[in-house]
């Protein structure tokens, strides 16, 4: 099913079931929720390397992630990979990263776009980064 078929199918009420987060994403969300609720870590910047698979190229995935991250004062980068996946590093307050993940899914759910978080790894926060950018 092509992009327009998927879009018009969802608009006409023929959309798919909402996508469930992968086990990797559920674990990341759990970790971020704990960090966001702890006064000692709620404002401490966290950094994660994330790798997304599925319908993540040709659907504005980098552009959407960039806008969502910038709106939440997150820093990092996002890039397409030759194997069809998308990689990113994202940094900021745990609640902001969690909000980013939720908004990302909501942005694509109406189109029936299917993707999953295949890998999530912690990284050391970078002190000199001040924006979230797409890489080419």
Q: Which residues are catalytic?
A: 62, 80
Residues in the chain: 136
Name the burial class of residue 76, with classes exposed (0-12), middle (13-18) and buried (19+) by CB atoms within 10 angstroms of its CB: buried
* Bridge pairing between strands 46-54 and 86-92: antiparallel
Residue 59 and residue 45: Cα distance in Å, rounded? Answer: 29
Q: What tokens does 120 get? A: 């999530």
Whole-angstrom CA distances from 16 to 21, 36, 112 are 15, 32, 6
């Amino acid at each position: 099913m092509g992009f327009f078929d998927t879009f018009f199918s969802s608009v006409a009420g023929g959309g798919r079931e909402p996508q469930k987060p992968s086990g990797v994403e559920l674990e990341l969300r759990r970790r971020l929720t704990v960090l966001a609720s702890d006064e000692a870590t709620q404002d401490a910047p966290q950094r994660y390397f994330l790798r997304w698979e599925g319908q993540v190229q040709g659907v504005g995935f980098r552009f959407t992630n960039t806008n969502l991250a910038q709106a939440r004062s997150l820093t990092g980068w996002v890039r397409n990979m030759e194997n069809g996946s998308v990689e990113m590093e994202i940094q900021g307050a745990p609640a902001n990263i969690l909000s980013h993940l939720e908004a990302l899914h909501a942005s694509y759910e109406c189109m029936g776009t299917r993707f999953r978080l295949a890998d999530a790894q912690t990284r050391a926060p970078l002190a000199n980064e001040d924006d979230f950018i797409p890489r080419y």
